[in-house]
Amino acid sequence: STGIGSPSTAIAVEELSAIGATTFIRVGTTGSIQRDVHFSDLVIATAAVRDEGTTPSYVPMSYPAVADFELVGAMLAAARAANQPAHAGIVRSHDALYPDLHAARMPRREELEDALTVWQRARVVCNDMETSTIFVICALRNLRGGSVLTVVNEPGEEAIDPARVAALDLTPMFRVALAGARQLAPLKA
């Protein structure tokens, strides 16, 4: 586990790559931004919006956070082979989970709601807190970076239902990540 958020993710990727790891796949949960992306669907990230505070310490914000295309293709193929609903697209990585969930109760309500509308119109699929960090560091270190996420809440839901999430079978997400990784040839430095 990398823990929660970009800072701890950066530490994990840096330390694991220092001892020889070459492929990093974020496997976790996400909140959907799009109305056609539903609870329990998988999202395979192709890129990530860098709306977090860790990666600017590495490179300017104009540097893209992009997944390893070979890994994305392998995970999409694994999802298709398992008849698992999966959406490929852009993820938004950010630092604070609850302002998006509870925008109506936040001092910056209008700004948060306007930002969400922008991300929906830009066809960003979902929110998380780690994907962009994996993609940026992997690109800088010549490593493979990917992300497969399970949707645990949908637009308009103001809370994540713990009972519903606890009952959710996350096995398909793990299988897609492992099957995708198995299809790849070893990465040479």
3 state SS of 94: strand
Predicted TM-score (pTM) above 0.75: yes
* pLDDT the model gives residue 67: 99
Query: What pairing do the DSSP bridges indicate for beta strands 42-51 and 23-32?
Result: unpaired
User: 12 pLDDT band (50/70/90 cuts)?
Assistant: very high
User: 186 pLDDT band (50/70/90 cuts)?
Assistant: low
Q: What is the dihedral of CA 3, 6, 9, 14, to 10 degrees?
A: -150
Reply yes or no on whether the pLDDT at 136 is more than 70.
yes
User: 159 pLDDT band (50/70/90 cuts)?
Assistant: confident
42-85 pLDDT, tens per residue? 999 999 999 999 999 999 999 999 999 999 999 999 999 999 98
Question: 């109506």: which residue's tokens?
Answer: 104
Q: Which domains does the chain have, with CATH numbers?
A: 6-182 (3.40.50.1580)
Please tell me the least confidently modeled range out of 79-88, 94-103, 150-159, 176-185: 94-103
**DSSP letter at 105?**
G
Name 48's bridge partners: 65, 91
Reply yes or no on whether the pLDDT at 176 is more than 90.
yes
Mean pLDDT of the chain: 92
